[in-house]
Amino acid sequence: MKKTILLTVLVLNGLTSFAQSNDEKNIKLFYKKALTESKCYTWLEYLSNDIGSRLSGSPSAAAAIQYTKHQLETLGLDKVYLQEVMVPHWVRGEKEAAYILDNKIKTVVPICALGGSVATAKTGLTAEVVEVQGIDELKTLGDKVKGKIVFFNRPMNPENIETFTSYGACVDQRFAGAKEAAKFGAVGTIVRSMNLRLDDFPHTGAQSYGDLPKEQYIPTAAISTNGAELLSKSLKVNPALKFYFKQSCETLPDVLSYNVIGELTGTVTPENIIVVGGHLDSWDLADGSHDDGAGVVQSMEVVRILKNLNYKPKNTIRAVLFMNEENGGKGGAKYEEVAKQNKENHILAVESDSGGFTPRGFSIQADDANFKKIQGFKDFFEPYLVHSFTIGHAGSDIDHLTSKTIVKAGLKPDSQRYFDYHHAANDKFDAINKRELELGAATMTSLIYLIDQTGIILPTAN
Amino acid sequence: MKKTILLTVLVLNGLTSFAQSNDEKNIKLFYKKALTESKCYTWLEYLSNDIGSRLSGSPSAAAAIQYTKHQLETLGLDKVYLQEVMVPHWVRGEKEAAYILDNKIKTVVPICALGGSVATAKTGLTAEVVEVQGIDELKTLGDKVKGKIVFFNRPMNPENIETFTSYGACVDQRFAGAKEAAKFGAVGTIVRSMNLRLDDFPHTGAQSYGDLPKEQYIPTAAISTNGAELLSKSLKVNPALKFYFKQSCETLPDVLSYNVIGELTGTVTPENIIVVGGHLDSWDLADGSHDDGAGVVQSMEVVRILKNLNYKPKNTIRAVLFMNEENGGKGGAKYEEVAKQNKENHILAVESDSGGFTPRGFSIQADDANFKKIQGFKDFFEPYLVHSFTIGHAGSDIDHLTSKTIVKAGLKPDSQRYFDYHHAANDKFDAINKRELELGAATMTSLIYLIDQTGIILPTAN
């Protein structure tokens, strides 16, 4: 008996090490193809420089849908199609204006309306300012903000190594600040940009009035970090100063738009689906090269590499370019709705929506068994300096996927520079490094390959 | 007896975990101080934007010496001083000119003289071109290059994850190409810039004629990668085309210059010295913000953090800002010469000369025992995403240190973008990210602290 067991172990070991060596070779090939012949940088150049910003409902978002669909069609995938989705259509209108009015001296500061905000009166809005560090402090002030502009000025904490941690601890004042301030009778809100640097770029982003009646909506805008510092200092000297801003944004009727999908159909269990995606929409202030042009072209690159290598996936592998992540999430929700209708079985969803920087690892949403399984892949990634596999949020678009057996993984690039560009006018193609972008695509390809080969661990039936 | 052993183990374990927890706290503090109050970004802004390029022997190199000495003096260190060193003084002269001359059509291409090169005749140099992939191919051609310009066009290999590997495999054609081509009667050499991107920046760098008699020196220049691609394509169509270039660089008499040194004197074994350094000189085409303004200000930041925390080092800790790394290495050699004269005992040397990007780890020169010791620190660095501790070259300046017991460590930042800027006109302050720079300083501080606390492992006496 002992002998038999020993033999089995040896054979298994032999098989394992053969398989590993083969996987290592394939992964090496993915990186090689990404670094030597990728199309993702060229695709992004076109998306950014020729099409430009791609806010949901805009003509350029429509152009991006046609462009990426066409590019996917050139790859020889098994299916390329559009998935209809109705999306909100918010427009900024003419460029905002703002100044600090301090003893009749006007100091112009850079602002931009937050996505979904209402306009000010055509003549603008002037009011005294109450500075707070967040919604909690606002609540302690209560009616004292009545008739005033609430200035949310909590900065992102520079001490965190992962900048997304600092973003997560701050973004409530942008997303819900106006709604909360309106409840106490504030007439507008100004929010410090979610940016760790001191500079002159205002950073837009989604905000929501929640259940507030429409007549209570108040205009809300982001101010650059330098502008926020100046306003705060000026308020310390003269708490009675006023702030003026004018914006003419509005929400138009919803628009028909699309998710773009390219598919390599599975050859063994085609009913099991692996998704890799990013979001095709961007904010309107720049090209959205990092957010999320990068994720879009990396996802396209994943299927390009696999197809180019004539890889026959066991499971169906889909690149999904989601529409409307930024201000509604309608694309992600629609994808899940259709998946449910079709009773599709998603086993893995990978999203890249943290910028096109050097990949460091994955942020994983999975049960213990599958998390350990993915951690077990660490050695495969070590030669590529991909080292960080942690439990955490994987991606906004794939958040919508609710299958019980699904494993989700968000590509985790180096995060130091992300908020320099996020939702601001400098998120442009020149902020992209070709190799960093390509390494991200290869890293996603490798994880998808490993899961396609070995499957996920299904929960034990009770 | 069994009981006693058990007790000892427990007590030791208790001590170890107490010590570790204290070290963890201190390292956390180093990162916090770097990310919230560092001076390194401000210092670099001044070095780059107010002083500018700092080629050895130039007035701006002299200004940088005075500035950094003064800044170190403000930190309240135990000693700040200059160390005299004679350095070469090469000057570029007026801006170079070059074009491809193809059937009387002139196409201008961007070039720059390599450091140490001689000038062309005042009217420039025109000759036919022989393209080679490196010195080996040159040698097979031999006298066929007589009277011609040799064009070294081996590109950096994009497949390597670490870009320095690709640099190391290419740089011989820049450093020794002219010397080798001159031996076969070539009249000049043009070298493809050491750059993984295709762009219009020529990248300069050191070259040496070695033992060649002076009358055999030929002019040599780098051409931008786009220029190299164009020249190569044009040669395929018309191998008889000519290349024209003109440069007026020259080598002037050596100049007195200085290493800048700031010291925290050891409180237990002051005779044991830990060095942390970068090089103060840069090439002349830009500010040298990454190469190596970053390493300079990070080294200054290390001693600033330690002093600011009132840390009493066991060993002497020196920030050394080396002069003349780029074209001579005289500063590093002088430092070692003086150290030998003074019979100083260096135990650790840390250098930052790979750019101010997100730190990934250290490249270590040490014996097995000390390498394992440093690898044992890995857990301390994990929260800061510093994960790569490998055997490799540590730094050009600290290369000169020859003490048998010394451990050397080169800070290893993310390398993807380094060669976009290296020795080119775009190595400027706007290519620096404040947080990435600061993280590098904190990472060096942490390693130095750990070695200062625990020492290095001395070789067993035989």
Give B190-206 pLDDT, tens digit per residue.
999 999 999 999 999 99
Contacts of A32 in chain B (CB under 8 A): 159
Residues 6+ apart with CB under 8 A from B165: B157
Query: Residues 354..373 of A with a Cβ closer than 8 Å to B: which?
Result: 358, 360
pLDDT of residue A14: 41
Determine which one of B96, B131, B162, B325 is catalytic. Answer: B325
Of A311, A321, A195, A184, the residue nearest B434 (C-alpha): A195
- Burial degree of A165 (CB within 10 A; 0-12, 13-18, 19+): middle
**What is the rounded distance in angstroms from the CA atom of residue A135 to the CA atom of residue A224?**
20
The answer to whether domain B29-90+253-454 has CATH 3.30.420.40 is no
**What is the rounded distance in angstroms from the CA atom of residue B358 to the CA atom of residue B380?**
17
pLDDT of residue A18: 52
* Domain ranges in chain B with CATH number 3.50.30.30: 93-248
Looking at the DSSP assignment, which residues form a beta bridge with residue B86? B256
Q: What is the pLDDT of residues B257-272, one digit of tens each?
A: 999 999 999 999 999 9
B325 is catalytic: yes
CATH number at A25-90+253-454: 3.40.630.10
- Is the confidence at residue B324, as pLDDT, over 50? yes
When CB atoms are compared, the residue of B161, B387, B435 closest to A387 is B387
A29 touches B: beta carbon within 8 Å: no
Q: What is the ipTM of this complex?
A: 0.94
When CB atoms are compared, the residue of B35, B384, B414 closest to A158 is B35
CB-based contact B159 A32, cutoff 8 Å: yes
The mean per-residue pLDDT over the stretch A359-381 comes to 97
Q: For residue B460, name the pLDDT band (cuts at 50, 70, 90).
A: confident
Find tokens 């018309």 and name the residue. Answer: B238
| Residue of chain B whose Cα is closest to the Cα of A33 | B159
Among A167, A200, A387, A436, pick the best mutation site for testing chain B contact (most B Cβ within 10 A): A387
B40-to-A431, B64, B79, B294, B298 alpha-carbon distances in Å: 23, 14, 20, 8, 6
A62-to-A41, A55, A56, A65, B94 alpha-carbon distances in Å: 21, 9, 8, 5, 51
Looking at the DSSP assignment, which residues form a beta bridge with residue A192? A223
How far away is chain A from the Cα of B186, in angstroms, using its nearest Cα?
33
* Domain ranges in chain B with CATH number 3.40.630.10: 29-90+253-454
A161 touches B: beta carbon within 8 Å: yes
pLDDT of residue B18: 53
CA atoms within 13 A on the CB side of A123: 2
Contacts of B196 in chain A (CB under 8 A): 435
B28 contacts B445 by C-beta, under 8 angstroms: no
Please confirm whether the linkage preceding B292 is cis (ω < 30° from 0).
yes
The mean per-residue pLDDT over the stretch A52-81 comes to 98
A45 touches B: beta carbon within 8 Å: no
**What is the rounded distance in angstroms from the CA atom of residue B85 to the CA atom of residue B455?**
31
Distance of CA A333 to the CA centre of its chain: 15
Q: What is the pLDDT of residues A101-113, one digit of tens each?
A: 999 999 999 999 9
| Residue of chain B whose Cα is closest to the Cα of A196 | B435
The token pair that represents A427 in the structure block: 């998120």
When CB atoms are compared, the residue of B36, B159, B420 closest to A36 is B159
B333 contacts B340 by C-beta, under 8 angstroms: no
When CB atoms are compared, the residue of A159, A416, A435 closest to B416 is A435
Proportion of chain A above pLDDT 90, given as a percent: 94
Proportion of chain B above pLDDT 90, given as a percent: 94
Q: For residue B10, name the pLDDT band (cuts at 50, 70, 90).
A: very low
Contacts of A161 in chain B (CB under 8 A): 31, 383-385, 439
- Is the confidence at residue B137, as pLDDT, over 70? yes
| Residue of chain A whose Cα is closest to the Cα of B418 | A433
| Residue of chain B whose Cα is closest to the Cα of A389 | B385
What is the residue-wise DSSP string for B134-159? SHHHHHHHGGGGTTSEEEE-PPPPTT
CATH number at A93-248: 3.50.30.30
B31 touches A: beta carbon within 8 Å: yes
pLDDT of residue A20: 61
| Residue of chain B whose Cα is closest to the Cα of A383 | B161
B422 touches A: beta carbon within 8 Å: no
* Domain ranges in chain A with CATH number 3.40.630.10: 25-90+253-454
Mean pLDDT of chain A: 95
Contacts of A440 in chain B (CB under 8 A): none
pLDDT of residue A4: 38
When CB atoms are compared, the residue of B162, B385, B434 closest to A360 is B385
Hey, what amino acid is at B438? Answer: E
Of B60, B2, B29, B39, the residue nearest B438 (C-alpha): B39
B219 contacts B119 by C-beta, under 8 angstroms: yes
Q: What is the pLDDT of residues A252-262, one digit of tens each?
A: 999 999 999 99
Find tokens 């190391």 and name the residue. Answer: B168
Mean pLDDT of chain B: 95
